[in-house]
Structure 1
């Protein structure tokens, strides 16, 4: 997002954070009114510094509705993001606070808690500075300045309204896509700017609305606003809403009331079921800055959401039972308990913060003939409904108070269903329009039922159904099914015997520990397909896997019982990635394919780590997969690569880390190799280490090597001990490789197998780049400095050097002692006269 005055505001925040002080933990509060740009500014700050930390998290904590469950979820998400581990879970908030402190107490972390509105959020996510390692920075954004008082946040930054110059620049960015108005729009632009009172959100929304509109449209919009005797920001935002077509308004109100933060594909399913043309409608709302799409989820600013909900209230003259949409649990409870509904109601979301029992009559929905959306959570009904509107498009009611739906209800229009599958069994319903089904987390289902009538089903989610034992064979023959996920179903013994799913693009059965059978494929499936079946009990893949012509990605990590791979797997024409880590029986299966013609021409990535590979098995891999670019064979038993690796003519990345028996590597690696990870290969002989050093002389772009500690060769252009690497340069930034030799850590830190090394590039003491690299003690890390940058960033660095001599320093932030470092200049790409080392001798004298 465009930010006026980004540089100086971010610079002010950096000064408050005092990033150079690495022995303290700092809390910073960013506060200001809604729509002022707190989140945007915090994101800009985060993006500019996050690479300086061991772990980071940008967490929107304002999207919670249930304080108990959502705070626990936020704690898990916080730790998962920082530790990059998506398997983190615990029972309650108290356990979460203890784990955050224990796991992060020695890490230097950057955390942004965005949109904090309750002191409990702050206390349970970042309660004390002592929870985090020295040098950590915690940033809180909030509308409530008093909350910062309660949290004892001393450092604060108030985001203020934009001044006239900044307001005009921001408005023009959205209205004209440049920094100043067109000549015949100057006066109108000043009027528009005055309407927005310096609030960035209003300037963005109004500017987006007026983009490419003629003068008459501008005048009409501004006249309507200025005629209001008490014009405020909501009325500015309302201008964009009033210009929408009817279906676009309906989409906007549905998102504002029910679907903010929900996945785009799910929301589009519900909207399309109501004939709202979601694709074009959502695009229009995004273009008008009323919606944003981030990580495939729909979002809108709080003020815009408030406006949408206020519109719903106004249209009903504040009569609750006549509102088109009900979203606040107290309003919903009042309407249901008083039987005060009407045909005006199109959507209901009942989701109280604490479990609630409701006493209402069994025909409470009978007056709501036009109800499209019904979402009921965390609520117990005293009576099971005897009536549900036939107009329903979304039924989201996982704890429905009966085993069956009302006898007179026929769900022919339901497009999305979230609930118990038992509701679908009582009689032969026709699910002609059902496209989305989610029963995740349902612990009452042991057998997934026959859904052969739901032939339009496109997405099926069964994740976390802990008591699910089997899935009906009809699921294997749904012609329109695009995505099927049944991960973490720990009791699932059987999927389906056969499948023919010609539309399938994604299949996931992760952590189904008792699932032992991979289904046979009955016909050609040509759609691009990704399959992930890691940590299952599957023993073999069927020969019929040859029918998966569209298969591009197959991952079966941790399938310890997997013993057989059919030859047909290696003949799939579009397979690009194959991950078979921790499958100890597979090497034997591979050996039978030596000499067989391989047509798996597109395979680029193979992960065979921790599978007990021998030297003979490596030869097999070379024979079967000659075109690999990325090979991971780490944590294996082989001892010699001299006769195998050289035959991979396209190989760019080789991971042999933790291969403790590895002694030999070829003297000449393939010319394509850029990255070699040989961490903890402590048996590696001197000859092989030299082969890795020689990669530097080849002046490889983006070269990166990790290996056990060795002396830096004398043919490096400069070698020094102790202090950090620094040299002088002018003109074009030199292309150089830098080697770091790290020593042994103290006893306290030995528990960590690898320790983070923060590598900072500074030009005249100004930090230009940062990279975090995990390095074991007594190891060498060797890299082409350009590997830290994208192409565009590298060009910017070159501009930063200029014609005058500039001091360039590579600073390492780590607990590992730096024993020595060396620099090798790529002569083919650098002017040797424009480089000097600390001795002040020009590089050309070497």
Structure 2
């Protein structure tokens, strides 16, 4: 059913799990996009590159993703032939990949060979009322009348979330409920039209334009078009957003299917059988009927004809002659015959995908054009050099993926241009020097222009330019020192170019936020030269210098002084000892030094770090002190064969995932302290070398499952931790699986299966231990339950031993008795209830006990501490000697 929340659920899953995959892509409104567009988006999103070629995309999809673990959402599939043509299925992607499909037709989902189908239900009365009030109340103290109206509205909407969101925003108007009373309960679209009727005429036009043509388009570009039509885009779009008629995701305008269908139904009006009378035409059948029979009229303002499946090549230009008020035109795979003298002269938007000619006809009148999108065209040049028109209104020009394009136009005739996109124009040799006349230009994207050898000096005079993308311009060998004159520049991407030296004037880019020179090392594998200090780049947030052949002496001066830096990528370089004081980077969240094969040591890390990765650094012996990295969420040290020390890691309690596979030189006692210190609040897991499970583990079995009875003494179980000893027949590579836990009750009929949201299992012949924690909120274990917990690692990995330990909190406690410090620790793991106070001399174990929600008390004895309350670990007492007081986790071990 439309509006029930299929896409919302898919988005929720995508947002929650996307950071655990090698690549992700959300293909919204699948049915509205062409095969090439979808495949191009899939490639660029998963590979995180926008400089990809456009030829043989079927081959590219299959070639590039076979070893990647990806998450793909295909939203709103309506036609199996269209879905099948994209060639997206599990065989395209690597082990552990996931594909989520949304659609209204279960038979179609069956054809797509889905493994599981979930059908969302409408909301119950309580949740319906909550949702209505969430969108309806604009005050913290609504009137009694408004409260009563919200109850009635929730009833009228019949549990459909979309209707509640849209109509809830109008509830403050007395007339809304009265209008609803005249609409049948099952006519959701008619209910939604009440919200449309409340718009003014300009806002209605904006809504209808979006519903017919602009879904999925960039909001800024749509705003340009609407402003060109004198529709006051900023205020109009704001109203539509506030009334939940449109949403914006990743700067793309989105609209729910029901809202879209409602808009198109309004366009049809009472003239269902007379499309020539409609203001907008979008269905290929209707468009071909009107144009093929020369029945166009002044009524038509917008027209879209997408003919990807069956190209249209028998239409005459003359068929458009009567569409005198046409302002929006979108064509795809369409070839028109004839001359363009009588073509409509009021076009604001021309989008012609796969334009068939090698230049735009000079008799095509485009002087009112605001946005021109000619991607994947056969253009060799945009216009005849001698007959180029002057387009005073043009603000956006996209000729991307036009692989035969050799020349750019004379930009002096496009004085108001703001965005220029020439992505993957593989034959383009130079950009016309008149580009320096574009004083309003804010974006240039030349990524993938592999024949482009240099940039004209005039380009560096663009005072308004904010974004310059040159990635993949492999023949581009240098940037002029005039780069510093681009005073508004915030983003410069020049990955995988031939650039060997960053101009010294880069330090003058006071507004620069992102600098990326990944893979810039020249044809002779020389190191990228950075002949200036970075400390003047006070706004820089992202710096990527990976695979640039940098060595210790080539580390940028004052790298540690970039106070705003949030992401630093130094992968694949030749460092031996990184002496940079990274602790000075007080806002750094992501640091990557993977693949630095000669790296032995680093100096420091910032407290703000959330992700730290040194995978495949075989010479690394010691990491910087991690004890103050209290917000660290992911740590990747895999294949650091010589690593002997990770100071402070045993004191971190909330790291989401820790990868230490093949770090065999870490002492066994320290590995166990890491596992002991890992908190209940973490949700990813630990992968660490080990030949046997720790001796403190309560329940053990030399197989993949454990059966046990929840002890009577444990009043409130808050969760359990699982340990698995495993190995593989393969050395290296990635398994198809991530750890999966199944809990089966022997005393009940319930069976629960959970994936702890961890990474895929890397395969090694050597024995490793995986440790993961599961909250009892998922399993509802109670005292006396007889259960079996089994672990599934798939058929590529052998499970040698499994262990389990329960964690609980004490019953009948009053949280008001807890001191402030303890309440803060308790809140971090979201466990209600009181934890007994620990005496000051036992602070060595305080953090660990609190983070695990354990109920311990201690009294001092002559030789150490004796436990006085029940242990959650194995029911036995544990002692620690005086000399071990400072070793935080030894108390538990």
TM normalised by structure 1 equals: 0.76
Tell me the SS of whatever aligns to 1:564.
coil
Q: Deviations over 1:322-349 (max 9, x none)?
A: 3222222333333334433333322122
CA-CA distance at 1:713 after TM superposition? 0.6
The answer to whether the 8 A contact 1:371-1:389 is kept is yes
Tell me the SS of whatever aligns to 1:350.
strand
The answer to whether the 8 A contact 1:720-1:822 is kept is no
The answer to whether the 8 A contact 1:760-1:810 is kept is yes
Corresponding residue of 1:683:
642
Corresponding residue of 1:547:
508
Corresponding residue of 1:256:
211
Q: Deviations over 1:48-88 (max 9, x none)?
A: 8889999876654642454x546xx35x7668878889899
The answer to whether the 8 A contact 1:559-1:583 is kept is yes
Structure ranking higher in helix proportion: 1
1:464 aligns with 2:389: no
The answer to whether the 8 A contact 1:574-1:602 is kept is yes
Corresponding residue of 1:298:
253
CA-CA distance at 1:439 after TM superposition? 0.7
CA-CA distance at 1:379 after TM superposition? 0.9
Tell me the SS of whatever aligns to 1:836.
coil
Distance (whole Å) between structure 1 residues aligned to residue 789 and residue 107 of structure 2? 43
Tell me the SS of whatever aligns to 1:396.
strand
CA-CA distance at 1:807 after TM superposition? 11
Tell me the SS of whatever aligns to 2:668.
coil
Q: Against the structure 1 CA distance between its residues 519 and 320, is the aligned structure 2 distance closer, same or farther, given a 3 Å change threshold?
A: farther
Tell me the SS of whatever aligns to 1:397.
strand
Stretch of structure 1 that moved more, 833-842 or 280-289? 833-842
Q: Against the structure 1 CA distance between its residues 414 and 556, is the aligned structure 2 distance closer, same or farther, given a 3 Å change threshold?
A: same
Corresponding residue of 1:495:
455
Written as runs of structure 1 = structure 2, the 5 A alignment for 1:35-74 is 35-41=3-9, 43=11, 59-60=27-28, 62-64=30-32, 66=34, 69=36, 73=38
The answer to whether the 8 A contact 1:464-1:489 is kept is yes
Distance (whole Å) between structure 2 residues aligned to residue 572 and residue 202 of structure 1? 49
Q: Deviations over 1:466-491 (max 9, x none)?
A: 21111123335533222221112222
Tell me the SS of whatever aligns to 1:336.
helix
Tell me the SS of whatever aligns to 2:434.
helix
Distance (whole Å) between structure 2 residues aligned to residue 783 and residue 468 of structure 1? 54
Q: Against the structure 1 CA distance between its residues 274 and 131, is the aligned structure 2 distance closer, same or farther, given a 3 Å change threshold?
A: closer
Out of 645, 660, 679, the residue aligned to residue 603 of structure 2 is 645
Q: Structure 2: 5+ residue runs without aligned partners?
A: 677-693, 746-751, 808-843, 857-869, 881-890
Corresponding residue of 1:791:
none
Corresponding residue of 1:17:
none
CA-CA distance at 1:752 after TM superposition? 0.6
Distance (whole Å) between structure 2 residues aligned to residue 743 and residue 149 of structure 1? 36
1:606 aligns with 2:560: no
1:752 aligns with 2:733: yes
Distance (whole Å) between structure 1 residues aligned to residue 695 and residue 778 of structure 2? 24
Corresponding residue of 2:435:
475
Q: Structure 1: 5+ residue runs without aligned partners?
A: 1-32, 789-793
Written as runs of structure 1 = structure 2, the 5 A alignment for 1:347-746 is 347-353=302-308, 354-362=310-318, 364-397=319-352, 399=355, 401=357, 403-407=359-363, 409=365, 411=367, 413-419=368-374, 422-423=382-383, 425-427=385-387, 429-476=389-436, 478-497=438-457, 498-521=459-482, 524-527=485-488, 529-561=490-522, 563-584=528-549, 586-587=550-551, 590=554, 600-603=562-565, 605-615=567-577, 618-619=578-579, 621=580, 629=588, 630-638=590-598, 640-641=600-601, 645-646=603-604, 654-663=612-621, 671-672=628-629, 677-684=636-643, 689=644, 691-692=645-646, 694-697=648-651, 704=658, 706=660, 708-709=663-664, 710-713=666-669, 716=673, 719=695, 744-746=727-729
The answer to whether the 8 A contact 2:306-2:331 is kept is yes
Out of 759, 770, 773, the residue aligned to residue 772 of structure 1 is 759
Q: Against the structure 1 CA distance between its residues 110 and 352, is the aligned structure 2 distance closer, same or farther, given a 3 Å change threshold?
A: closer
The answer to whether the 8 A contact 1:761-1:770 is kept is no
Tell me the SS of whatever aligns to 1:830.
helix
Distance (whole Å) between structure 2 residues aligned to residue 80 and residue 821 of structure 1? 43
Written as runs of structure 1 = structure 2, the 5 A alignment for 1:302-321 is 302-314=257-269, 319-321=274-276
Stretch of structure 1 that moved more, 292-301 or 601-610? 601-610
Q: Against the structure 1 CA distance between its residues 341 and 134, is the aligned structure 2 distance closer, same or farther, given a 3 Å change threshold?
A: closer
TM normalised by structure 2 equals: 0.72
Corresponding residue of 2:828:
none
Aligned residue pairs: how many? 774
Distance (whole Å) between structure 1 residues aligned to residue 726 and residue 190 of structure 2? 64
CA-CA distance at 1:247 after TM superposition? 0.9
Q: Deviations over 1:457-515 (max 9, x none)?
A: 22111112121111123335533222221112222222223513333332212222222
Tell me the SS of whatever aligns to 2:330.
strand
Distance (whole Å) between structure 1 residues aligned to residue 739 and residue 20 of structure 2? 7
Out of 839, 842, 847, the residue aligned to residue 828 of structure 1 is 847
The answer to whether the 8 A contact 1:359-1:382 is kept is yes
Q: Against the structure 1 CA distance between its residues 800 and 711, is the aligned structure 2 distance closer, same or farther, given a 3 Å change threshold?
A: farther
1:335 aligns with 2:290: yes
1:116 aligns with 2:70: no
Q: Deviations over 1:660-719 (max 9, x none)?
A: 2334567x66845857543222133xxxx2x31653147687795636124531784664
